[in-house]
Structure 1
Amino acid sequence: MDLFELITPCHFGLEAMMKREITDLGYDITAVEDGKVTFAGDAEAIAYANIFLRTTERVLLKVGEFKATTFDELFEKTKALPWERFIPQHGKFWVAKANSVKSKLFSPSDIQSIMKKAMVERLKEKYKVDWFPEDQESYPVRVSILKDRVTVCLDTTGVSLHKRGYRQNTTKAPITETLAAALLMLTPWKGDRILVDPFCGSGTFCIEAAMMAANMAPGMHRSFLAESWKHLIPEKCWKDAREDAEDRVDLSVKTNIQGYDLDEEAVRFARENAKLAGVDHLIHFQQRSVAELSHPGKYGFIVTNPPYGERLEEKKDLPALYETLGGRTFGKLGTWSLYVITAYEDAERYMGRKATKNRKIYNGMMKTYFYQYPGPKPPKKKKEQEEM
């Protein structure tokens, strides 16, 4: 099979998680940049990346890269790309998204229009036609320009990968599935450890954790745009990847994952979403306030996305809420670890302790902080000690 350059965008600050996932799948990383990781892979890799990767929004197939500072240059260099290798004569093609940072070409609509014209001219010459019906498979193009460097890709995913298919019900300000998975991967939590989210909302942290514990690939029950690109990716690639994903699942795994929320409707939504994901038996959801959080177990994890006052009237409640989370609950749990993502600037102050680590993460355009309070490591199990 031919090798492609594949690009996986991710949240700024979480590139290391993306890199680890790709390496674990067995592919070679070729570049790590702000907000994206590039790797080499064949047609099968496109299927595997879409089905197995937890932390990327989509899988992009790189068509080409070049420098352009004028629209004439953009047109000619776009036209020079081998579009006929990817887009058949009846394919529907358009520039779905263009973004430009620190570049002379900065108008997304002009970039999109000029590049579409260049693609048409190239394909007219190659297919010896004057008109394209564009009545079959879709080939959306995504373009990013950074410091006059143009990267041109085809989107193999379609609907963003954070849409696993299970979250039919949401509460206000939900965390995305891809971000929740990446943050869980940033912690030392493993499937056999206790995990509690006292502000579980629609259940995303708990559901992503349960899917990880059960080794359930996040994309195994959804479809992807490139499944119709049979001239590029044989149907067998998707079939084999899905069968591999099914073979890896272990729904008999024992877990201790709990989600609490004061909002009765949120708890109901979380249960329904977990059922749709097929992991409802691995999670215990309950209507309960953060002040009531207690657990008899040791060395557990609190991983959560508390309210941060999206509306002005909510801000007055935040000091007491964060004091409760950091002092009255976490403070009593001794051996536990606490991981909090929030946009609330005074979180550390009211939790009453400075985080061991504090990572800045952009959740869309919103600047958030991931406060990390790792607890002590549990003692090694007897069997592990005997094997050493």
Structure 2
Amino acid sequence: MTTHRLVATSAMGLESIVADEVKALGYETKTENGKIHFEGDERAIARANMWLRVSDRVKIIAGDFKATTFDQLFEQTKAIPWEQYLPVDAAFPVQGKSVKSKLFSVPDCQAIVKKAIVERLKLAHKRIGFLDETGATFKIEVSILKDIATITIDTSGVGLHKRGYRLGQGEAPLKETLAAALVYISKWNPNRPFVDPFCGSGTIAIEAAMIGQNLAPGYNREFLSEDWPWMSKKIWDEVRLEAEDLANYDQHLDITGTDIDPRMIEVASNNAVEAGFADLIHWKQRQLRDFTTTSLDGVMIGNPPYGERIGEKEEIEQMVQDMGSMMEKHPTWSVYMLSSMEKFEEHYGRRATKKRKLFNGFIQTEFYQYWGQKSPRA
């Protein structure tokens, strides 16, 4: 099998988590903004797509080089051995972006890269005329940053956050990849109770359940590279079999999702059924102030409403204040809240043990972490 230069992309602030995931699969990494570089063969491509919970996509780096003129972009793109990746009938749409570069016209860059690949494939496959592009799809991207062009091939297709279980969602759904990252950051393990008091469509609780039972996030979906002739079906079958063998379906879970809106409880419940957790996650319609528990060493993770409508801000501030007062009665519980609210700590009633800046889409947020006391049992 061939060794490829690969890159797992991530949202800002989550690079270290994705790097840890890639290392856990057995590959050495190098990290830069939003990108985790590693090398691997076809099996690595399949395993990365199957197992990375926090990455957005896995791409092959076909080539990178300096390009300050269109001639340079054309010739160096043409020099890449595209016939090793693309069969003669490949469909290969080209996307592009350019930042702080002399070649700033993205449509022109896309057209030139497309033309260069066509010329290379026609030469390699001894073709005259047009390529029909009726075969498997290879999504190409040319990204130019400070005059350095990087040309990649997307192996994932639909973003890796699309696990396949979310049949319904609320107004501002949390991406599955970010939800999984929140669970990772909390260091929750399946021996501890878990509660999301603002569960919405249930994403955080479902991601926790998948982590708790070690279910591969890509098990129930398909990937673009599965259709590629050089990515054998045998590899994908073996990677899926590995995922099945590593799943711990017998792991007991104590996970609860609550929400004030009964419609969202129904949506979350349906999503959990689709994810295979019909009876493993408890869903309750409940206001936050009605939370009560006799359990120790629990973890509460949530994404409270951001309160963008008139009158909502004061309500949410009061809710955060109530949460802070309530959780003082449960000192062994750890609380983790993702919020864009100014003065969150002031309303909660104490400073967070730790904060981490994260982006929920384009919204800058803080992940406030309040670590619980160790109980005598612990």
Q: TM-score range by the shorter chain?
A: over 0.9
Q: Which residue of 2 aligns with 1:251?
A: 249
After TM superposition, the structure 1 = structure 2 runs for residues 214-233 of structure 1, keeping only pairs within 5 Å, are: 214-231=213-230, 233=231
Contact preservation (8 Å) 1:10, 1:56: yes
1:248-267 Cα distance to aligned partner (Å, 9 max, x none) = 11222111111000000000
Q: Which residue of 2 aligns with 1:376?
A: 373
Contact preservation (8 Å) 2:113, 2:142: no
- Give aligned-pair identity as a percent: 46
Cα gap change, 1:8/1:81 in structure 2, threshold over 3 Å: closer, same or farther?
Answer: same
Contact preservation (8 Å) 1:163, 1:177: yes
SS of alignment partner, residue 161 of structure 2: coil
Q: Which residue of 2 aligns with 1:336?
A: 333
Give the Cα separation in 2 of the matches to 1:166 and 1:335. 33
SS of alignment partner, residue 162 of structure 1: coil
Moved >3 Å (runs of 4+):
310-313, 377-381
- Structure 2 residues without counterparts, runs of 5 or longer: none
Give the Cα separation in 2 of the matches to 1:72 and 1:45. 34
After TM superposition, the structure 1 = structure 2 runs for residues 51-66 of structure 1, keeping only pairs within 5 Å, are: 51-66=50-65
Q: Which residue of 1 aligns with 2:2?
A: 2
SS of alignment partner, residue 339 of structure 1: strand
Give the superposition deviation at 1:241: 0.3
SS of alignment partner, residue 115 of structure 1: helix
- Structure 1 residues without counterparts, runs of 5 or longer: 382-388
Give the Cα separation in 1 of the matches to 2:125 and 2:308. 53
Give the Cα separation in 1 of the matches to 2:200 and 2:135. 40
Q: Which residue of 2 aligns with 1:384?
A: none
1:193-216 Cα distance to aligned partner (Å, 9 max, x none) = 111100000000100001111111
Give the superposition deviation at 1:380: 7.0
Give the superposition deviation at 1:11: 1.4
Give the Cα separation in 2 of the matches to 1:107 and 1:353. 50
1:51-84 Cα distance to aligned partner (Å, 9 max, x none) = 1111111110110111122333222221221111
Amino acid at match of 1:202: S
Q: Which residue of 2 aligns with 1:296?
A: 294
SS of alignment partner, residue 328 of structure 2: helix
Give the Cα separation in 1 of the matches to 2:323 and 2:279. 27
Give the Cα separation in 2 of the matches to 1:126 and 1:105. 28
Contact preservation (8 Å) 1:27, 1:41: yes
* TM-score, normalised via structure 2 length: 0.96
After TM superposition, the structure 1 = structure 2 runs for residues 309-328 of structure 1, keeping only pairs within 5 Å, are: 309-327=307-325
Cα gap change, 1:194/1:227 in structure 2, threshold over 3 Å: closer, same or farther?
Answer: same
1:25-69 Cα distance to aligned partner (Å, 9 max, x none) = 11222x101111011111011111111111111110110111122
Q: Which residue of 1 aligns with 2:159?
A: 160
Is it true that 1:83 corresponds to 2:79 in the alignment? no
Contact preservation (8 Å) 1:294, 1:333: no
1:330-355 Cα distance to aligned partner (Å, 9 max, x none) = 22211111111122223222112221
Give the Cα separation in 1 of the matches to 2:136 and 2:296. 53
Q: Which residue of 2 aligns with 1:348?
A: 345
Contact preservation (8 Å) 2:352, 2:370: yes
Amino acid at match of 1:326: G
Question: Please, what is the CA RMSD of the aligned residues?
Answer: 1.5
Contact preservation (8 Å) 2:48, 2:58: yes
Give the Cα separation in 2 of the matches to 1:175 and 1:117. 39
Give the superposition deviation at 1:367: 1.1
Bigger drift between 119-128 and 40-49 goes to: 119-128
Give the superposition deviation at 1:223: 0.7
Q: Which residue of 2 aligns with 1:111?
A: 109
Q: Which residue of 2 aligns with 1:133?
A: 132
Contact preservation (8 Å) 1:201, 1:267: yes
- Alignment coverage as a number of residue pairs: 377
Contact preservation (8 Å) 1:323, 1:352: yes
Amino acid at match of 1:20: D
Give the Cα separation in 2 of the matches to 1:333 and 1:305. 20
Is it true that 1:170 corresponds to 2:169 in the alignment? yes
Give the Cα separation in 2 of the matches to 1:149 and 1:300. 48
1:209-231 Cα distance to aligned partner (Å, 9 max, x none) = 01111111010111111011122
